[in-house]
Structure 1
């Protein structure tokens, strides 16, 4: 069985590169901790100023802002429940007014089912909450940012929209049905935006994390760790770390995959590979 010490091994953040490089502003939803914090700090190391958007404002936000500022880049916090779609345009305008042009959107915010269980017992309330945040909120925030990007005469070569879905966009987990459905919907939305924005020079990417050690997976860490250790779930035999996801996002955000849009990047240690 994997313990916490064994599980902590992961590749480090992307090399920071020249500190003078300015890449515009990355708006990161759900950025206060975990994967979101790793994304914020890694993108800052690669030259982005950071607009951190989250539903909660607490000391975790302060830690993330401080981590970004320690790289020499600027950071602001905007409090938002992304399901409140009528506030999206205001947030986008505030970010551009305070920091400058948004050149990268990272859709990281999302929630898990409150209780894992039989799909036959899923309530309409639970279903609606998952769709409102994971799918509807992300879709319309992407729309708001995309409209701003299209209407802006940009001086930046690299502009991107990166959406974090899940291995569950394709892999069925009946005990969390609405979550899987919301992520599958996001996957299609990402490809739709990719087609629409390609001619505008805006690349759209989808990241599908596998098992990543975060607060969201804490309740199943002990359950899945034996299978992770044997390779039956994850051939690389370790849990993913937030930095693994952040490294992939930074690679895409800086344009290191320049002829890619609408593609799906699995970051799950091989768990997406079909096996007998």
Structure 2
């Protein structure tokens, strides 16, 4: 059987590390596939405005590009990876969509409030919020998880979702959508990512609970739960040996690419998913999930 493009790029991954979180896409070798040339948009998000956190690289970049293909205007929020963010904006604009970038730390509530104000000022509306930014810090020893690490992980991964969603909701209308990035670790746990997995479990509960709370407003809340995906967070998190093995434990025996997740985010933001709320779409290379 001929190997597809995703299998081929998986074989090209060299051992590598990055020293800071959440990592830079331009430093990865090879760079992730964020724009699937086989994916053609059909106007599913025409007239929509989307805000994507962690939109400079990885899953966020892939979602931004797919949304651009579908006709949306896009705001991306990121921490300080300016080169990555500029590349994402160029990719968005290459499909004729408007893209704007905002460098900010969304672990702070005031930054989140200002971010939504800035997006509304730029576009005049907000229809899709993709809560995607995240950090993870492996610790084999549970006792080594410091209060500072715990606060940083929770502030970035889950507190920011509360802050941004509270700021965005007053601007939402019936038919708008919130999509949260969870993880396979929310369902399976992870021995060395206990605090990270805990935030992802919180995201799952947040998604289910918020969806019930605002269902009568006609605003849908869902999540995507990725398995091992080739993003900057991987070399920024793990040692080079583990990076080389990343994804090999899945039934498909490879890591996923960000572009393989993007259609799930398109579906959940579009009219195709009008009867879908409080749910998780598992894109994980074949792992069975019992929820």
Q: TM-score, normalised by structure 2?
A: 0.82
2:242 aligned residue: 223
Aligned to 2:162: 139
Q: 1:100-125 CA distances to partner (integer Å, 9 max, x unpaired)?
A: 31110001101011x43211221111
Give deviations 1:131-151, integer Å, cap 9, x for gaps: 1111111221112112321xx
Structure 1 alignment gaps of length 5 or more: none
Q: Shift of the alpha carbon at 1:88?
A: 2.0
Tell me the alpha carbon deviations over residues 154-196 of structure 1, each in whole angstroms, 9 at most, x when there is no partner.
Answer: 4xx6411000011111111121111011111111111121012
* Structure 1, 68-77 or 2-11: larger mean CA deviation: 2-11
* 2:271 counterpart SS class: coil
**Counterpart check, 1:249 vs 2:265:** yes
Normalised TM-score (structure 1) = 0.86
In the alignment, does 2:74 pair up with 1:50?
A: yes
Deviation at 1:273, TM superposition (A): 3.8
Please tell me whether the aligned partners of residues 118 and 174 of structure 1 are also in contact (alpha carbons under 8 angstroms): no
The answer to whether the aligner puts 1:71 opposite 2:95 as a matched pair is: yes
- Name the residue aligned to 1:261: 277
Q: Which of 168-177 and 101-110 deviates more?
A: 168-177
Whether the 8 Å contact between 1:195 and 1:262 is mirrored in structure 2 is yes
CA contact (8 A) 2:35 2:62 kept: no
CA distance in 2, matches of 1:175, 1:18: 42
1:198 aligns with 2:221: no
Confirm or deny that 1:35 pairs with 2:95.
no
Give me the whole-angstrom Cα distance separating, in 1, the residues matched to 2:84 and 2:245.
31
Q: Secondary structure at the match of 2:159?
A: helix
> Are the counterparts in 2 of residues 96 and 102 from structure 1 also a CA contact under 8 Å?
yes
Give the number of aligned pairs: 262
Are 1:126 and 2:149 counterparts?
yes
Moved more, 115-124 or 48-57: 115-124
1:15 corresponds to which residue? Answer: 40
What's the CA shift string for 1:77-105, capped at 9, x where partnerless? Answer: 11211111022222112111211311100
Q: Counting helix residues as a fraction of each chain, which structure ranks higher?
A: 1
Deviation at 1:220, TM superposition (A): 5.8
Alpha-carbon contact 2:106-2:112 (below 8 Å) kept: yes
Does the Cα contact within 8 Å between 2:187 and 2:289 map onto a contact in 1?
Answer: no
Of 162-171 and 87-96, deviating more is 87-96
| 1:53-202 equivalences in 2 (<5 Å) | 53-113=77-137, 115-149=138-172, 154=173, 158-202=175-219
Deviations 1:52-80 (CA, angstroms, capped at 9, x unpaired): 11111511111111110111110111121
Deviations 1:243-263 (Å, cap 9, x if unpaired)? 111121011111222211001
Residue 234 of structure 2 contacts residue 243 of structure 2 at CA under 8 Å; is this kept in 1?
no
Q: Say what the alpha-carbon RMSD is for the aligned residues.
A: 2.4
Return 220-229 or 242-251, whichever deviates more. Answer: 220-229
